[in-house]
């Protein structure tokens, strides 16, 4: 047995992590770091320490988990939640408060965004409560402090910061009115007793988690999520997870870029702009420093198309940066136009085809996305994001073997890059 396999198995058992989803290099690096920091002489000695120390077990989990989140990430989800929450309150005649779950809640940006969105939509504090839960005690503790740096505020429209935060030193402190709407606790989605005995939730946010599990664990977690979500409730997931939920019997509610699913029949979809098909959310990069859909106003439906930034056509690096910025702001149509401009005026590069694939993913055009990802990999065979996105698409279509090959390529690429950095 590979000496590191025992650590892979440990993380699989404790938090459900599929090593191929993050690459062996990341886990091996975390093990090396913890071996040094725990002052173990060898990896074998560290393994023995891990078996008897709950604190060290949690420390290794923390070393593997790298939170990447910010306020109003995927803003259309929050716009959709605000609309559905008002409708849900009317359906139950305001007889009880809405129950909303954010899991994993990471360092608190998501559950607090939920609370801000509902307060801004006119809901009263007594009309809803938000539960935030995460496997990481360190993340939960940071969320409880309610103090955030500039990296938690991204995009052009951060007006909510003026409404709900107070500047404090180099950061911002959350208004107690928002904090009071959210209860935070440590919890593991793989725990069979999770929230046992509590009523189901009207809305559940569980985003960018299932992509880190293998198929059996995904199904196990999905069953837990179904139990946590009210029969008439809505489950919000990450862009890469929509195809999985479709296979497991959930249906998109039909609102573009909301990544919202239900067990019941879908409502009449809202009209889509000409450049966007009704969404079937599909993959986005693993640790998401890459763009997320719609970075416009938190409560706008689709960001209006603005005039493109003027930039010399010869400036290849500038065009690539412009594409990234537009996509990060959710301006899909503009980003696609700049991609096409780049391909007309410059030699093709993998990154442009990757962006086109991502934009097609978000629009729900899986076949077109595959074609673009394959072009990116033709030009750059080890392009990490294209590998992982294409792997997720193949897995969603049932090609498990093909997905596994791509994941292994991405893992090998990660190990090679890690080795190169050490030289």
Judged against a pLDDT cut of 60, whether residue 2 lies above it is answered with no
Q: Looking at residue 246, what is its pLDDT?
A: 72
> DSSP string of 367-382?
HHHHHHHHHHHHH-TT
Beta strands in 188-309 (DSSP E): 201-205, 229-236, 251-252, 260-262
Ordered DSSP codes for 140-181: HHHHHHTEE-GGG--SS--HHHHHHEEEETTEEEE-HHHHTT
Quote the tokens at residue 31.
């093990």
* 260 or 240, greater pLDDT: 260
Residue 198's pLDDT is what?
A: 87
Alpha-carbon distance of 123 to 103, in angstroms, equals 22
Say what percent of the chain tops pLDDT 70.
82
Asked whether residue 69 carries a pLDDT value surpassing 60, the answer given is yes
pLDDT score of 326 more than 60: yes
Q: Is residue 107 pLDDT above 80, yes or no?
A: yes
Residue 134 — φ and ψ, nearest 5°? -150, 155
Helix (H, G, I), strand (E, B) or coil at 79: helix
Does the structural domain 316-422 have CATH classification 1.25.40.10? yes
* 263 pLDDT tier (thresholds 50, 70, 90): confident
Rounded CA-CA distance 45/413 in Å is 29
- Map out the domains of the chain as residue ranges: 5-64, 75-262, 316-422
pLDDT of residue 312: 47
Q: How many Å apart are CA 238 and CA 77, to the nearest integer?
A: 10
The DSSP H or E segment spanning 337 is helix 332-345
Give tens-digit pLDDT for 194-248.
888 889 999 999 988 887 787 788 888 888 888 899 999 999 988 767 767 777 7
Q: Are 222 and 210 in contact (CB under 8 A)?
A: yes
**CATH fold label, 75-262:** Rossmann fold (3.40.50)
Give the separation between CA 423 and CA 411, rounded to whole angstroms: 19
To the nearest whole number, what is the mean pLDDT of the chain?
80
Q: How far apart are CA 231 and CA 130, in angstroms?
A: 18
Radius of gyration of the CA atoms of the chain, in A: 22
Of the ranges 19-23, 33-37, 91-95, which one carries the lowest mean pLDDT score? 19-23
- For residue 154, which phi and psi values (nearest 5 degrees)? -125, 160
Quote the pLDDT of residue 413: 65
């Amino acid at each position: 047995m590979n000496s590191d396999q025992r650590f892979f198995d440990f993380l699989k058992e404790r938090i459900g992590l599929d090593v191929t989803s993050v690459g062996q290099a990341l886990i091996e690096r975390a093990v090396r770091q913890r071996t040094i920091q725990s002052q173990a002489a060898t990896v074998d000695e560290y393994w023995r320490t891990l078996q008897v120390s709950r604190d060290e077990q949690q420390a290794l989990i923390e070393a593997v988990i790298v939170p990447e989140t910010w306020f109003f990430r995927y803003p259309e989800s929050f716009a959709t939640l605000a609309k559905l929450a008002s409708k849900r309150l009317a359906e139950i005649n305001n007889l009880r408060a809405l129950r909303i779950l954010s899991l994993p809640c990471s360092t608190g940006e998501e559950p607090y965004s939920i609370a801000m969105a509902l307060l801004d939509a006119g809901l009263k504090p007594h009309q809803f409560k938000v539960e935030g839960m995460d496997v990481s005690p360190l993340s939960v503790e940071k969320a409880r402090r309610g103090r955030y740096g500039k990296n938690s505020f991204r995009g052009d429209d951060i007006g909510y910061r003026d409404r709900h935060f107070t500047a404090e030193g180099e950061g911002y402190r959350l208004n107690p009115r928002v904090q009071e709407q959210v209860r935070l606790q440590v919890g593991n989605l793989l725990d069979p007793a999770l929230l046992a005995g509590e009523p189901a939730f009207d809305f559940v946010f569980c985003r960018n988690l299932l992509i880190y599990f293998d198929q059996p664990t995904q199904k196990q977690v999905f069953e837990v999520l179904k139990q946590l979500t009210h029969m008439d409730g809505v489950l919000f997931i990450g862009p890469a997870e929509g195809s999985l939920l479709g296979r497991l019997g959930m249906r998109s509610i039909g609102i573009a870029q909301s990544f919202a699913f239900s067990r019941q029949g879908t409502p009449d979809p809202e009209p889509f702009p000409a450049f966007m098909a009704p969404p079937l959310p599909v993959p986005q990069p693993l640790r998401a420093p890459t763009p997320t859909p719609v970075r416009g106003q938190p409560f706008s439906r689709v960001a209006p198309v603005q005039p493109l930034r003027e930039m010399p056509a010869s400036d290849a690096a500038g065009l690539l940066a412009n594409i990234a910025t537009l996509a990060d702001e959710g301006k899909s149509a503009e980003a696609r136009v700049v991609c096409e401009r780049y391909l007309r005026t410059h030699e093709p590069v993998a990154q442009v085809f990757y962006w086109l694939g991502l934009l097609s993913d978000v629009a729900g055009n899986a076949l077109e996305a595959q074609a673009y990802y394959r072009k990116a990999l033709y030009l750059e065979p080890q392009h990490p994001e294209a590998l992982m996105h294409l792997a997720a698409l193949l897995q969603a279509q049932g090609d498990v073997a093909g997905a596994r090959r791509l994941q292994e390529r991405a893992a090998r690429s990660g190990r090679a890059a890690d080795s190169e950095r050490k030289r």
